[in-house]
Structure 1
């Protein structure tokens, strides 16, 4: 779907914290259900570096993501995962527009 947007939130999860992060991810995802423009999201764990995790969300378009990001619910909804943000990754998150897909 050309024009859709993927947001990749970089996380760093210490050994022993995996279950907590999964629980927080589910909590945040339930809170975000029904958010206009949010199509889906996934929790990912690195295979080569198991401490590197990411949340990949898919949005209808950049405008939908930016409207949610600048709205009043953004910070509160995502607060539980904030301590796990990987600030060593350069940017805490990346915003990517889909240019082509099969």
Structure 2
């Protein structure tokens, strides 16, 4: 994963149903195709607050490697997949996932 600053990203204002499903599928594969399915392990809800994203509900604390809490996954205008995580200090960080990271 690559760490970037917010000023380098242009997020989409809305996501099509296909883009939403692709993001869920991407997360399912990124998590190693869990038998329980993505919705049981990591429920994602479509929101358009500030920008379009598939967001974890506020009562979900899904931890990633590095002790970070997953907040959302989205797509930029350049069709890059971006994950927003909270670090140990509750600071929001953005990570661009490249195909080699899958």
Q: Normalising by the residue count of structure 2, what TM-score does the alignment of the two structures yield?
A: 0.34
Relative contact order higher in (CA < 8 Å, ≥ 6 apart): 1
Q: Normalising by the residue count of structure 1, what TM-score does the alignment of the two structures yield?
A: 0.34
For the pair shown, the structure with the greater C-alpha radius of gyration is 1
